[in-house]
Amino acid sequence: MATGYTNTLGNTIIDHIFRNQAYTPPTTIYVALTTTTPSRSAAGTEVTGGSYARVSVAFSAAGSGLSSNSGTLTWPTATADWGTVTHVELYDASTSGNRLWFGALTASRTITNGTTFSIAAGDLDLDASVTG
């Protein structure tokens, strides 16, 4: 899936590296599902209700500006229709928090009551050369 960093993360990187501003990275990153298209400056519409919750993710070591999720990501089984999920976003908190990254799913997926959504290990790609 294509990805890009948000303005929030871009500003943080610039301030940390080029302005020597302190930065403490988050201890956990969470993946949110959205039903609309996000951009560097604006979040998509995150799924709500029906047992939806963001899931935590771990990434492989970066190489050549690339990294991907190191394990399968599985959301709780939907107890109501979530709509058509088109994108994911990465946050530094399980609710609210700072949006760091976003990406389109390879194919949109309609999540209905009783459906369990997952992303296989290695399928959530972070590419430093893609900036949305």
Answer yes or no: is 127 within a domain. Answer: no
- What pLDDT was estimated at residue 128? 77
Contact 86, 33 (CB under 8 A): no
Give phi and psi for 131, each to the nearest 5: -120, 10
DSSP state, 60? P
**130 is a domain residue:** no
Domain contains 129:
no
Contact 91, 32 (CB under 8 A): yes
Listed as ranges, residues in the chain with pLDDT below 50 are 1-2
pLDDT of residue 130: 55
Q: What is the pLDDT of residue 1?
A: 44
Q: What is the pLDDT of residue 2?
A: 47
- In this predicted structure, what is the pLDDT of residue 108? 97
Biggest CA–CA distance in the chain, Å, is: 49
Residue 131 lies in a domain: no
In a domain, 57, yes or no: yes
- Asked if residue 132 is part of any domain, the answer here is no
CA 110 to chain centre: 18
Query: Which DSSP string corresponds to 10-59?
Result: HHHHHHHHHS-------S-EEEEEESS---SSS---B--STT---EEE-B
The pLDDT assigned to 127 comes to: 83
Q: How many domains does the chain have?
A: 1
What range does the domain containing 97 cover?
A: 3-19+28-122
Q: Indicate whether 80 belongs to any domain.
A: yes
Contact 35, 44 (CB under 8 A): yes
Give pLDDT, residue 64: 87
Determine the Cα–Cα distance for residues 107 and 89; give it in Å rounded to an integer: 15
